[in-house]
A and B are shown apart, each in its own frame.
Chain A
Amino acid sequence: MSFGPLNLHRRTLAARLVFWFALLLIVPMLIIGHGIDRAANRNLQEDVLEKLTMVARDKANSLELLAYERSRGATMIGRIERLGRAAAVLADPSQPENERTHQREVLSRVSTAFASNMGFQDVIIVCPRGNVLFQSQHRLELGENLLAGPQGNTPLGHLARRALTLLEADISDFAVYPGSALPQGFVAAPIIRENGSKAGLVILRINTKDVLDILTNYTGLGRTGNVLVGAIEEGVIHIVAPVRGQPDAAFKLSIRAGADYGQGMQQAVIGNIGRGRVTSVIKSDVLASWVYLPSFRWGMVVQQDFSEAMAMVSDQRIGLFTAVLAILTPILLIALMVARSISGPITMAVTAAEQVAAGDLSLDLAAEGDDEPSKLLNAIGKMVNDLNSLISQVQRSTIELVSTANSLSAMTRTQSEEVNNLGSTTTEIAAATKEISATSEELLKRMTDISAATGDTQALANSGQAAIGTMEETMRSLADATQSISNRLAQITRRTDTISSVTTTITKIADQTNLLSLNASIEAEKAGEYGVGFAVLAREIRRLADQTAVATLDIERMIREMQDSVSGGVMEMDKFSEQVNRSVSDTHLIGDQFGKIIQLVQALLPQFEAVHEGMRSQSAGAREIRDSMVSLTESVRVSAQSLDETRNATHRLETAIDELRNEIATFRLS
């Protein structure tokens, strides 16, 4: 950084003080000034645009009102019966000449009485086919028929044609006609008679001055305010009225639609209202407001030069600038004075310090006063005195130092050699120890693995033994269950035997009953008809006995089947029971064997533990040795290094003493 005022460390103290004073003053003032300026700019621009819009709207209203009044006026004139009658007479070629003359006079009077009072100048009357019947002033060449004559293709001719079709008051486009420098516009209205029939067209010339009075009134628009009106025709916008400063601008000034200036006018002629900062049709930078006037089909722009509109802001800007300057000058002067009062003694101190730096300690400094710069000068004086005595002392000490350094240097060299020897021996021992340590650590790791494996085996055997115990238990309860089922089955066999004996008894009873009933029926046969009832009884009893016998046989068969099944079951159970018992004894045997394994493993474990412990302590010992060796090596290295350093230091000391001697030699002591 070497540019401008930022290169501060090269400037004098006074310049720096003044610079910062100025900076602290100017920067805030500029910021505040800029802010005020911008706000004022914006507000003023908005105010000016608002004012221009009001003026534009006011002018538009006035012009539209003028157009409306003229149209109404023309409509009313068109309905004056005297005028209608005159037009009808003049249109009728069969009317005598004196009557025609009379009607022309009537028309002249009507023109004077009404037309000029209503703001019209020329009065032209044509018949429904366009033949010119009357013209109050022969300023404009119309020809015999307006539509076919020299004005047939001018806005006047178009007006007549349109009004004859629309039968309604209408305003022509403005144009410059021969004989007049100013643009002119006409109003046409149909002449309608009292009976409702049309008798022609009355065409009245609008007093251009009435329109221009509104347009060229620049009140409130300042020195550069301007009002432009234009009409678009086939892509070209013509300015149709004089412009301030250009009285002949009408129909001479024009711009093409789409041009990069006159944006307001371009918007206005297509019916858009707006406002803003634009380049005007006369190519000046303006604030403008624009409107559209339907009666005349004009776009109107009310504008004021930007510079004038914003003059208030530029005045304010100049004022602000002057104020800043006015404040800045005295403040800079004060800053300069303060800076000088501080920098004077400091300059003296600087000169003294520079002398001291050059080695001249013979100067005598003393200042009167109580401010900081005076104190500084006194302090420097004291410092110079102190330096004087100090340097004398140093000169003396240096000589002593030189001899000490020399002897130190010799000693160090010897020591260094010894340490180097020690160093190599220690390094060898350390390497050996490191190997031992590594081996014992490897061994220890193996032992730890084996010990863990043994522990796992024991745990496995323990769980196996427990599982077999459970199995044995289960087998035993299974054997018990089998036994109880066998017992139950034996009981069932016994019960069925009892049932068999009961059925045998029943069979016997049934046989005897059968025999008894047979006898009874024989006896009944004998008794003849007295025994008939008894015979029936006996037959029934025998039938019952037979049924009993059959039922008993069924029971016997069922019991036999049951006994067969039970005895089959007992046999199966016996077989099963035997197998279970065998399994129980097998399981017991396995359990015992597991027990033995566990005992063996358990006996092994403490032995492993002992070995393990031994290994561990051996490994720790080795590690300790290794660590001690490392630290020993480190100590040797450090010793060697410090010896090197000592040597270096001694060397530096010698150099320093040499330099010191040289330096001191430069001082001129008092």
Chain B
Amino acid sequence: MAISEKPMVEAELLAIEEINRNGGVLGHRIEAVVADSESNDDTAAQRALQLIQRNKVRTLLGCWTSACRKSVKPVVEKQDSLLIYPMAYEGIESSPNIIYTGAAPNQQILPAVNWSFENIGPRFYLIGSDYIWPHTVNAIIRDQILTLGGEVVGETYLPFGTLDTARAVKDIKATNPDVILSTVVGSSNAPFYRALREADLSAQKTPVISFSIAETEIQSFPVADIAGHYAAFGYFQSISRPTNLSFIERFRRRYGEERVISDVVETAYFSVYLWARAVERADSFESAEINQALLGVNFDAPEGIVTVDPVTRHTWRAFNIGQIEGNRTLRIIWSAEHPIRPVPYPPSRPADRWEAFVADLYNRWNHNWVNMETAVSSGGTP
């Protein structure tokens, strides 16, 4: 389990503990069975099958990367089980056996692009890690920049897991964009931000808007490298709602006062509550019944009221843009007032064309969700 995935499991266990302390669901205690996919997509699929068949698990809650989800999807579909996926992702997917509680592109990517077009500038540089999520996200971003009348001055993919970002940064410096939209994941981030600073691309001059790093990740980065850059998510720890303050307090009391909470942690937390409400509503522990009852269920989550949209099986989510402060917190500088309806298939292209685009990447990478030709090592994030 990668370090960044651990808080997600912790948040789920916290929610389960809380629900059990309040009498469980339908008078039963919830029991969590934790399986480690070891950041390997095939292992993830195997473990998912084991959990369903051997451990009789009725609902799976997890997967971090899109690659993981794409591997587990056929398993839950074949077993007619249920997966709740709590990660902001690229969209362009729907499954009768998955509930997506993370943000769809229109709840994270598109508003961030629009906001930076209006507030920073029209010239964009797109950089990502070389796998399914950044490629898809950047395709969506390109459509949106076209709509806005902006310009993409460069698009680069770093090998999955690389620490060498020098060439990409050199290219950025050469093209001189107004803003960098980053879908760089995992360990490549620290050297990427450092290289930017060393290349004199300051946050004031050329800010990065990241769709990948949040509170959890930036705790280990030097402040000088990251202060002033942005991140776009549904949840930031600095949201001042009373529900959030109480959630932070409970999380820290359970796991330590120094802990920070990021979007995926909060998503994992409220996902458990949505599930519990669905079970109560279904009055059953059968996957199919819960699956049906989840549609339309809502919860007053730390970020705001979240609702599972019955049409798209995705979740109504809040949206915020945060700027990294000197104390490694994210100050919210723009907020979408109220939750946004999920639109998993961006309307810039028909759904079948988006699906063809994704399938094309998969085939081009020899039936992988990561470009293994460039990948340095496994173990990343979104």
Interface residues of A (CB under 8 A from B): 60-61, 64, 68, 71, 75, 79, 158, 162, 165-170, 190, 192, 195-198, 270-273, 292, 294-295, 297
Contacts and interface: CB of A to CB of B under 8 A. Distances in A.
Contacts of B281: 273
Given A166-B340, A167-B144, A196-B146, A292 B298 contact: yes
Nearest to B346: A168
Interface of B: 106, 110-111, 114-115, 118, 143-144, 146-149, 277, 281, 296-300, 305-307, 309-311, 316, 319, 336-341, 343, 347-348
Nearest to B340: A166
22 contacts: A68-B311, A158-B337, A162-B337, A165-B118, A166-B336, A167-B110, A167-B144, A168-B340, A169-B341, A170-B341, A196-B143, A196-B146, A198-B149, A270-B300, A271-B298, A271-B305, A271-B307, A272-B298, A294-B316, A294-B341, A297-B305, A297-B338
A298 to B, nearest CB: 11
Contacts of B307: 271, 292, 294
Contacts of B336: 162, 165-166
B115 A165 contact: yes
B283 to A, nearest CB: 11
* Dominant secondary structure at the B interface: mixed
When A and B form their complex, which 7 residue pairs have the shortest distance between CB atoms, in order from nearest?
A271-B305, A294-B307, A196-B146, A271-B298, A271-B300, A270-B300, A294-B316
A168 B108 CA distance: 13
A89 to B, nearest CB: 17
B147 A61 contact: no
Contacts of B347: 75, 79, 192
Contacts of A75: 347
A68 B295 CA distance: 14
Nearest to B319: A166
Contacts of B149: 197-198
A168 B110 contact: yes
A292 B305 contact: yes
A64 B114 contact: no
Contacts of A165: 111, 114-115, 118, 336
A295 B341 contact: yes
A196 B348 contact: yes
Contacts of B114: 165-167
Contacts of B309: 294
B105 to A, nearest CB: 11
B297 A273 contact: yes
Given A271-B299, A271-B300, A273-B297, A166 B111 contact: yes
A313 to B, nearest CB: 25
A75, A168, A195 — most chain B CB neighbours (10 Å): A168
Given A165-B114, A198-B147, A294-B341, 7 more contacts: A71-B341, A165-B336, A166-B111, A166-B336, A167-B114, A294-B305, A294-B309
B240 to A, nearest CB: 14
Contacts of A166: 106, 110-111, 114, 319, 336, 340
A295 B316 CA distance: 9
A152 to B, nearest CB: 15
Given A294-B298, A294-B341, A273 B277 contact: yes
A61, A170, A294 — most chain B CB neighbours (10 Å): A294
Nearest to B277: A273
